[in-house]
Amino acid sequence: MKKPNPLIRNFCIIAHIDHGKSTLADRIMELTGQVSERDMEDQLLDSMDIERERGITIKLTPVRMFYSADDGNEYIFNLIDTPGHVDFTYEVSRSLAACEGALLVVDASQGIEAQTLANVYLALENDLEILPVINKIDLPSARPDEAKKEIEDVIGLDASYAPLVSAKEGLNIKEILEDIVRYFPAPSGDLDAPLKALIFDSYYDNYKGVILFVRVKDGSVKKGDRIKTFRSDKVYEVTEVGVFAPGLYEKSGLFAGEVGYIAASIKSIQDVAVGDTVTFADEPAAEPLPGYKKVQPVVFCGIYPLDGSKFNDLKEALIKLRLNDASLVFEPDNSVALGFGFRCGFLGLLHMEIIQERIEREFSLDIITTAPSVSYKVVKTDGSELFVDNPSHLPPQSEIDHMEEPIVKVDIYSPPDYLGPIMDLCREKRGVFKEMTYLEANRVQLIYEMPLNEIIFEFFDAVKSRTRGYASFDYELIGYSASKLVKLDILLNGEACDALSMIVHEDSAYSRGRTLCENLKEAIPRQLFEIPVQAAIGGKIIARETVKAMRKDVLAKCYGGDITRKKKLLEKQKEGKKRMRTIGSVEVPSEVFMQILKTNKD
Amino acid sequence: MAGIYVHIPFCKSKCSYCDFTSFPDKLCFAESYMACVYREMSFRRKELKDYSFDTLYIGGGTPSVIDESYIGMLIASARKNFNLAKNAEITIELNPGTVTADKIDFYKKCGVNRFSVGLQSAIDSQLEDIGRMHTAADFLECARLLKGENFNADVLIGLKGQTAADVLYTIDFAAEAGASHISMYALTPEDGTPIYTDYLNGELPDADEVAALYQAGFNRLKELGFIRYEVSNFCKRGKESRHNLNYWRRGEYIGFGVSASSCIKNVRFTNTFDLDEYFKCIFTEHLPVINSEEVDEEGQKFEYIMLALRTAEGLDAHEYKKLFGVDFFEEHKAALKKVGRYLDTEGDSVKIKDEYLFVQNSIIIEFLEN
């Protein structure tokens, strides 16, 4: 058995959104000379526009660096940047599996934040060494000692040696690099064993085919090797291997302990799922590496092209997005109101938003999205069962014996001060109290069982706002339970709009119906005729609002000099109409389909 | 049929809603300016030699603030350079309080046969509020001087605090004073005008209230025997403004002076809005045109529809076919299916139903190609 290169350190950074993770990554790259100052762009690893704009990391991004440590050795650092939001835990778990250590970045003035915890626990589960780093010590409000104490109290990590840094000012960054060398273990594994490489991400390159992001655990791989994965029998010949610098940088081989990429003219992503293990076709390893927890989409919504003829473009976009986001699922769907589109499944609401935004930006497609939903189990009177995540696919009421909705176990972690508000919220959201445990003096774990559909209705925001951001929560599906669910239909000018239907609990149907009608009344522009907006359950009207007929829509004057200008105004008005869908005779702005939920107050 | 427009960019003071090119402090340049307008006309003489014009409209600004002799020379210059019909409609805009009996007599001598008076409101507090320099009584005096003449009174709706009763009072006032034509405009708060602030502060009547004022005004005008021939224009039988009808029939017109626009042979062009720039161009023997755009056939069709549907007369499908060689009903089948119920169609005539004339944009844009 031959050990991997002891001078390699594979690590990631865990931080709450806005605690300076990407900036710290920038500084580390700068200090290791990975990026010259000339090429330095802020938040280098967040290459997607959305990431830069929102200041968040969505995709993990690996990069390799060299560091000449004080001990005289030159170390190889592989940094894998990871997302911070709870919806992207899946992405995080993937990058963690490729590392031996994690930097835990904590804002010196804000202390540890809830979301960070989930990722810290994930890292501990993966046996990662964790090094706390106190960032933003340049701020006047910095309280590094309190932050340290918090880390010790809340997580139970020794934070006495945590470096105090300012990523923004470039202060004490070197200390972190020395600590990485000192505290993070070198990779384990066996260079002589048959190849075992964990695929932690992939994307499609037009020239090279699928590019696999791998962490080599055992053995080595080079150009010309014949490889396969455990889940498929297809054999590929490696055309290129290399590392991330941070762009692709070809090397002669990848060895145990290293992080890099493999290209093998792979045409179909289906055969090389993320989480799978790459091995040699002719001399395979005995068993695969443990993969990741398989994720199930929990939130669903319809995505339709605004321009019906762009259906194939939308399909293409979704396929490309799935290449590096295996958690996205979709199938074709069609709606009377919206035409042909896709029913898509996501890991959470933020994930859904991000995908929608990426479709619009990266593929320049205008889309319409419907309200998010969960997957319900419908037991029909003839005893058969089916799952329905699209309200408009629900069988007629007369054929339904009963319906069951997904129930999740929700773990909420919070300082004790906020228990009252959290419990109130859980009760409002039909939660059933299960357990409360004091994990530490300052941290309580609450366990509730709750319908998933209540969680997708702004639960996340409510938890955050009621606890000033201190509480965090995680949920897992535990099963289905019978529930009094009804389909709430929306009628515009007397015609049901399938894209606006939703499945709700009977008890909240009236209030939700009312809110929906009120919201729609605000969102639908006045037209030439009066439009009744109604909510109905099985033909019974439960709420009504009216969009009054428009009374003035005219250009008062129109003489010689005005004609061109007026023509342009009308063209603009016409352009605005393009973003509308006609339902029956009513024109509905495309944003309405999504907004309805957002404006819904809890 | 073609028209001539001349812009006189001077006034005593700027009204708070005014978005036109007008300089209250530059009256001293009037003489040079008018000389330039005459010169500009001569630049166009050759190009327009085959045209016969049957309207001349002198607008502003306030054309009545400059000495009437300039107006005389202006009309003479128009006649000298262009074929202006003997019975041409010659209109001048006036503001109450800027005219005298002599002035009006002189205008008439020069051939002016139509007057347009900026009344706006017959309620002094409202006039003051929008920065008008005159009172309701000034209007009466002006109307007295115009007795027996064909004159229009402008009436604004949508003023701050204006009620339907105020609108009716103003209309009665104008009609009683002898106006044969009333233009009833909804105030349009343009960005950059003082009144825009009132608009942003929500102090002006909202769209529904303006619609109600319009409806009230419309009913009263009808009772008084005024016929609506365009969405904002009402007149006694036979007193339509020929100059404005020409715009709505997509006729050709040539404009002179700052900010004046023209449409000749499907090219729309506009003069500079800057007075100095205008002088500079004319003195260096250049046309003061700053932009010019050829309207393609699709644009021509839409303009034709957009303008025709403003009028009570509506659109003439027979003429449409003559102009564009296509059948209107066939070409706009989809739009007609969608908004047909808001239109009155009789033979070749298509017009927006009376009750929908004030929400016409939503109807008209259906005829705009994608």
Compare all CA atoms of chain B with the CA of A559 and give the residue at the minimum distance.
Answer: B247
Contact B261 A527 (CB under 8 A): no
Angstrom distance (rounded) from CA A554 to CA B184: 13
In this prediction, residue A47 carries a pLDDT of 55
Among the partner residues B268, B299, B359, nearest to A553 by beta-carbon distance = B359
Angstrom distance (rounded) from CA A505 to CA A511: 11
- Report the DSSP beta bridge partners of residue A249: A243
In this prediction, residue A54 carries a pLDDT of 53
Contact A560 B247 (CB under 8 A): yes
Taking the CB of residue A575, how many other CB atoms lie within 10 A of it?
Answer: 12
Chain A residues in contact with B211 (beta carbon < 8 A): 551-552
The ipTM (two decimal places) reads: 0.91
Q: How far is B133 from chain A (nearest CA, A)?
A: 23
Angstrom distance (rounded) from CA A384 to CA A378: 8
CA distances from A363 to A116, A294, A318, A350 (A): 32, 28, 10, 19
Positions of chain B with pLDDT lower than 50, given as ranges: none
Q: How far is B102 from chain A (nearest CA, A)?
A: 30
Helix (H, G, I), strand (E, B) or coil at A40: coil
Contact B207 A558 (CB under 8 A): no
A566 touching chain B per CB within 8 A: yes
Compare all CA atoms of chain B with the CA of A552 and give the residue at the minimum distance.
Answer: B359
In this prediction, residue A88 carries a pLDDT of 55
Four-residue CA torsion sign, B134, B135, B138, B143: positive
- Report the DSSP beta bridge partners of residue A378: A386, A403
In tens, the pLDDT along B106-164 reads 999 999 999 999 999 999 999 999 999 999 999 999 999 999 999 999 999 999 999 99
Q: Name the region of B148 (left: φ>0; alpha: ψ -120 to 50; beta: rest).
A: left
Contact A554 B231 (CB under 8 A): yes
Q: What does pTM read for this prediction?
A: 0.67
Q: How far is B188 from chain A (nearest CA, A)?
A: 7
**Token digits for A24?**
């710290």
A226 touching chain B per CB within 8 A: no
Largest Cα span, chain A: 90
Angstrom distance (rounded) from CA A275 to CA A522: 46
A235 touching chain B per CB within 8 A: no
Residue A335 gets which letter from DSSP?
E
In this prediction, residue A596 carries a pLDDT of 65
In this prediction, residue A601 carries a pLDDT of 45
Q: How many helices (H) and strands (E) does chain A have?
A: 14, 32
In this prediction, residue A597 carries a pLDDT of 58
Among the partner residues A554, A563, A564, nearest to B361 by beta-carbon distance = A554
The enclosing H or E element of B229 equals strand B227-230
Strand ranges (E), A169-280 = 196-205, 209-218, 220-222, 226-229, 236-237, 240-244, 248-251, 253-255, 259-263, 277-280
Burial profile A466-487: b = 16 or more Cβ within 10 angstroms, e = fewer: bbeebbbbbbeeeebeebebbb
In this prediction, residue A90 carries a pLDDT of 58
Which spans in A417-500 are helix H? 419-428, 452-455, 459-466
In this prediction, residue A91 carries a pLDDT of 59
Q: How far is A584 from chain B (nearest CA, A)?
A: 11
A-B interface: how many C-beta pairs under 8 angstroms? 96
Identity at B97, one-letter amino acid code: G
**Token digits for A398?**
């007369």
In this prediction, residue A57 carries a pLDDT of 52
Testing the interface with B: which of A529, A530, A552, A570 to mutate, by most B Cβ within 10 A? A552
Chain B residues in contact with A578 (beta carbon < 8 A): 370
Taking the CB of residue B307, how many other CB atoms lie within 10 A of it?
Answer: 21
Angstrom distance (rounded) from CA A387 to CA A296: 14
A559 touching chain B per CB within 8 A: yes
Positions of chain A with pLDDT lower than 50, given as ranges: 36-38, 58, 599-602
**Token digits for A58?**
């969505």
Compare all CA atoms of chain A with the CA of B339 and give the residue at the minimum distance.
Answer: A528
The enclosing H or E element of B58 equals strand B52-60
